Structure 1
Amino acid sequence: MTLIILACALNTYASWWPFFVVLFYTISPIPTMIARRYSDGSGSSNSCMEMAIFLTMGIVVSSFALPIVLARVPVIQWGACYLTLTGNVVVYGTLLGFFLTFDSDDSDYSMW
Structure 2
Amino acid sequence: MTLVILGCALPQYNVWWPLFVVLFYILSPLPTLVTRRYVENTGSSSACLEFAIFITMGFVVSAFALPIILARAPSEAPVIQWGACYLTLAGNIVVYITLLGFFMAFDGDDVDYSMW
The reply to whether TM is greater than 0.5 is yes
- The answer to whether the aligner puts 1:77 opposite 2:81 as a matched pair is yes
- Percent of residue pairs identical: 69
1:11-62 residue CA offsets vs partner (Å, 9 max, x unmatched)? 0000000000000000100000011001022351200000000000000000
What's the counterpart of residue 2 of structure 1? 2
Aligned length: 107
TM-score computed with the length of structure 1 as normaliser: 0.92
State the superposition RMSD in angstroms: 0.9
Distance in 2 of aligned mates of 1:19 and 1:27: 14
Distance, in Å, in 1 between the alignment partners of 2:42 and 2:96 is 29
Please give the alpha-carbon distance, in whole angstroms, between the structure 1 residues aligned to 2:16 and 2:82: 14
CA–CA distance in structure 2, aligned partners of residues 95 and 52 of structure 1 = 15
- Larger mean Cα displacement after TM superposition, 40-49 or 21-30: 40-49
State the alpha-carbon separation in 2 of the partners of residues 93 and 43 from structure 1: 25
In the aligned structure 2, how far is the partner of 1:101 from the partner of 1:45?
A: 20
Query: Partner of 2:114 in structure 1?
Result: none
Partner of 2:104: 100
Q: Structure 2 regions of 5+ residues with no counterpart?
A: 112-116
Q: Could you tell me how far apart the structure 1 residues matched to 2:30 and 2:98 are?
A: 15
| Pairing 1:1-112 to 2, within 5 Å after superposition | 1-42=1-42, 44-73=44-73, 74-107=78-111
Distance (Å, rounded) in 2 between the aligned partners of 1:2 and 1:106: 34
Structure number with larger C-alpha Rg:
2
Distance in 2 of aligned mates of 1:39 and 1:91: 26
